[in-house]
Amino acid sequence: MPSVRIEEIKRFMEESLVAAGAPVSEAKAQTDLLLHADIVGHFSHGLNRLELYINDMKIGGCKPSAKPVILKESAATAWVDGVDALGATVGKFCMDLAMKKAKECGVGWVSAKRCNHFGMAGYWALKAQREGLIGMAYTNSAPIMTPTRAKNSANGTNPIAMAAPASGGDSLVVDMATTAAAMGKVEMQLRKGEKIPEGWALGSDSKPTTDPQEAFESGRLMPLGGQEKTSGYKGYALSTMVEVFCSGLSGSNSSHNVPSWSYTQVEPPNLGQCFVVVDPERFAPGFADRIKDCLEHYRSLEPIDPSLPVLAPGDKEKKNEKLTRASGTISYPQGQIDSYNKMAERIGVKPIKVVSSNL
């Protein structure tokens, strides 16, 4: 696959967002969000999402210059109107607010309505973790999950993210969709021309499919766990929990009322998002040491396959980031590069410069 220098893909993202109408400061924040996903190896939420963000700005579903507003607050809580701003704009505002409240009160809980897609949920949880706090982030999304026993979609991918600090600069990081996989991962399989694993999605006939095109068109992702016999109802239940935190508290659209995210959608999605921060120093002493002990225990477990060591949650992303930064490049499918260079021509931005092609 073609490789692109990190600074080059950063340049391309920023210039593209500015060309679409984003202020430079907002373009830089949104780029950092997208770049993080590609650097840690979650390509579904990086460059893969850029064109949809640009489209949202051009057709009016996203207002790139808008600034979030606090509608109601107490010492530890806040209700925010995201005013259809860029995802990174709202995410930063809300997580900064939640961290401020947690430092003052021990806990900060912020729920926001009128939000747009905010990228990887874990990106926001990590902001708090880096300051010695426990961070959590949630969002609802367009109906793309088929609840257990249902034929049609009703819930979103509704991700859950949590990041906790550990001794020695370590951390435990959980970041997952409540579907078996996010639709962006189906899109990446499409770009690579590869099948999806069974258990990710249902086709138009409501039966499991391994065809990424059929899965993309049907929009029927399976819950985390897959079918009922493999406990898919647990993923379904987790997605409803996220719905409570997001639309329930914020007054946003519930997932089943969120319009599909597409290149023709002009109506703002009015997503609900939730950001929670906890100061572990307000509880039992030694929190970071206990989390470190857990991490070391998980990593020391004897693996079934010696070539595949047991990982702690977040280890894979840390390894990917280390390797990516060491190489200074990110590899993308050729089809993705071609697609974005066509977009670059349309919006008047210099195309992506590839440094090598590893076929």
pLDDT digits (tens, 9 = 90+) for 193-228: 899 999 999 999 999 999 999 999 999 999 999 999
| pLDDT lower than 50: segments of the chain | 359
The predicted-structure confidence for 1-49, as pLDDT tens digits, reads as follows: 899 999 999 999 999 999 999 999 999 999 999 999 999 999 999 999 9
Q: Given this model, what pLDDT does residue 304 score?
A: 98
Q: Given this model, what pLDDT does residue 359 score?
A: 46
Q: Token pair 């659209």 is at which residue?
A: 253
Q: Given this model, what pLDDT does residue 358 score?
A: 54
CATH number of 1-59+328-359: 1.10.1530.10
Q: Given this model, what pLDDT does residue 182 score?
A: 86
CA distances in angstroms from 224 to 38, 139, 240, listed in the order given: 23, 16, 12
> What's at 13, amino acid-wise?
M
CA–CA separation, 32 vs 7, rounded Å?
11
Find the largest Cα–Cα distance for the chain: 57
**Equal fold, 1-59+328-359 vs 67-179+246-314:** no
Query: CA quadruple 57, 59, 65, 71: dihedral positive or negative?
Result: negative
CA 137 from chain center: how many Å?
A: 10
Main-chain dihedrals φ then ψ at residue 176, nearest 5 degrees: -150, 145
> What is the H or E stretch that residue 357 is in?
strand 356-357
Name the 3-class secondary structure at 254: coil
Second-level CATH architecture of 67-179+246-314: 2-Layer Sandwich (3.30)
CA–CA separation, 28 vs 337, rounded Å?
21
CA distances in angstroms from 254 to 154, 194, 208, 240, 245, listed in the order given: 9, 33, 26, 10, 11
Domain boundaries along the sequence of the chain = 1-59+328-359, 67-179+246-314
Question: Do 105 and 75 form a contact (C-beta atoms < 8 A)?
Answer: yes
**Cα radius of gyration (the chain):** 20
DSSP conformational letter for 309: -
> What's at 246, amino acid-wise?
C
107-115 and 77-81 as β-strands: parallel, antiparallel, unpaired?
Answer: parallel
